Amino acid sequence: MPKALWNSRNAHYFLAVLSVTGLTLTTSVVAQEYSTEKEDTEVVLAPDGYSPYAGRNFPQVPLWGDSHLHTMVSVDAGTMTRLSQEDAFRFARGEEVTTTHGLRAKLSRPLDWLVVSDHAEMYGLMPQLLGGNAEILATPKGKEWYEKLTAGDPQVAFDTAMEIVASLSGDVAPIDNPKAIKHAWETYTALADRFNDPGVFSAIIGYEYTTEGGNNLHRNVLFRDDSVRANQTRPFSQFDSKNPEDLWDSLAEYEARTGGEVLAIAHNGNLSNGRMFSMNAWDGSELTKEIAEMRARFEPIYEPTQIKGDGEAHPFLSPDDEFADFDTWDASNLNGTELKVPEMLAAEYAREALKRGLKIEQDLGVNPFKFGMVGATDSHTGMATAQEDNFFGKHSGVEPEPQRWKHVVIEAPDPELSIYGWKQAAGGLGAVWARENTRAAIFDAMMRKETYATTGSRMMVRFFGGYNFTDEDALSRLPADAGYAKGVPMGGNLAVTEDGKAPTFLFAALKDPLSGNLDRIQIVKGWLDSAGETQEQIYDVAWSGERQIGADGKLPDVGNTVDVANATWTNSIGAAELIGTWQDPDFEASQSAFYYVRVIEIPTPRWTAYEAKRFGVEMDATVPMTTTERAYTSPIWYTPG
């Protein structure tokens, strides 16, 4: 062993021995003696100790959670589920609960944080209605609904429940009781404060603003604050305004009046029928800089994946992307009242929206679609279950049982457009790179977009951009050290260099121990070309095995080890981890661009395969039995000066 190396490793140990034995020798003496022996090697002793983790102030691990979960407090969920907001928090923390239909349920691993985002519209109505609240029953509609729901006729009860759900799309609340909403909201915020346990579990206060009916322009509103501030407002609903721009105004007013902080997360635009990422204002008028700024300010992250399908990309928009057709819901809007046409798709998918944002920024100087990524469930069961072998469905009407794969989940006027059980996606989850598990730290991470979405897997993903990453940075077991020192993390902005140097990126992914190995890591790039038109390119930057990129520019398929009949697979293909660096070979310093990482797992059993195995049922040949779980990081942007 070289003398200098031995000394560098043992000098601190030598000091410790001296201290323990009671000998007196100052650090300066040891350092001086060491320096005389170090020959040509310069060694600087760490003054605070040996640990490479000491003094770190950047996020160490991702915190896993769900920003979109409903309980019986939501009017639509409350017509079916009987799980409360307290049940939802208990379940997310890892406790066992009993479902609406009497099944025992528990997560394989607790979540780190949760937002119970019950609908703002008639917030808290159903528990008070079913409980016989005198003020609710004093209203004509409340009395009618209560009598029908409790008459003992299942068909009447079901028809009434559907009437209640349909009423959410109206212009006026059928039951307008501000006192009841206030009581329900303050009960919830107090509950969230009670379950909030800094350092262990964050119960983040929030609600869902639901608008545009079947076109699904919904937002989840999250507070950085506790109940003291959150109680100074009420959930803003579509009965206040159907215009999301008015929601942003209300959030701005809340912040100005209370000193609190709040954000909104738009979700699953794949069912908005061309409305979620329109190039115009909500009313169809020309988009203004002021509106674009409000959206950019209050909607820093977006939910591209959940139970109602995946919205990262679509094969019509990205025909060269072999992974674009994943859990695709593209027949109509949410309730099947309007058919989908191809012209709508560009305003519905995350990748295309990111590209549109570059174009709008060129015209207005502001990018309204400069968002990060976070996954969620949108479960209406009170349970955040995103794992394929533990999936409890969209609502309690499709809890696990032998035939749920063909039960109607969302009924449309045309049966051809109805959504059946097997179509549900068992996803997703949000990962937040926060410095600590607190409401404030998680909220701040969302604001800086240091987040990523997965379709349910808990793979660990890092992504950094800069100009000086080298292959040596990918050899470290601590890639974040180089990542934060040399660049910006996911959600960040690349600096503009004077020499127009192409950026470099450092990326890493570690498999979920309960899921499949990793197939590949891809970097998705979108940019504005010299003519001002949007373009995209997908680069395979790391992959498992000895595969080589073919003449067609494609990486060969990783293979498939899934045993569908037994709902299992082997991790004999794929990699446990992938890490590397990449420099954009097509970079043009004058062109705006974004980059994000997509990680693909090897095929594993889909929830339908587990269901078929457990119940011994045979499903139609059209029902998919395998899936390829994936992660989408928030982008890193480059904007020329």
pLDDT in tens, 408-444: 999 999 999 999 999 999 999 999 999 999 999 999 9
CA gap 88, 126 in Å, rounded: 16
pLDDT score, position 165:
87
Chain centre distance of CA 486: 26
pLDDT score, position 47:
57
pLDDT score, position 441:
98
Whole-Å CA distances, 380 to 69, 70, 74, 332? 6, 5, 8, 21
Phi and psi at residue 21, to the nearest 5°: -80, -5
Phi and psi at residue 495, to the nearest 5°: -70, 155
pLDDT score, position 56:
84
Cis before 559 (ω within 30): no
Helix or strand (DSSP H, E) at 598: strand 593-601
Residue ranges per domain, the chain?
Answer: 3-37, 63-120+167-446, 459-638
3-state DSSP assignment of residue 272: coil
Q: How crowded is residue 381: how many other Cβ atoms within 10 Å of its Cβ?
A: 32
pLDDT score, position 19:
34
pLDDT score, position 158:
85
Chain centre distance of CA 225: 21
pLDDT score, position 29:
29
With CA atoms as reference, report the closest residue to 214 among 361, 40, 410, 366: 410
With CA atoms as reference, report the closest residue to 322 among 533, 522, 529, 585: 522
With a cut of 70, list the residues of the chain below it in pLDDT: 1-49
| Strand 219-223 with 518-528, pairing | unpaired
CA gap 571, 390 in Å, rounded: 20
- Using a 10 angstrom Cβ sphere, with 0-12 exposed, 13-18 middle and 19 or more buried, the burial of residue 72 is buried
Phi and psi at residue 333, to the nearest 5°: -80, -170
CA gap 259, 476 in Å, rounded: 43
Triad 55, 59, 64: Cα angle to 5°:
150
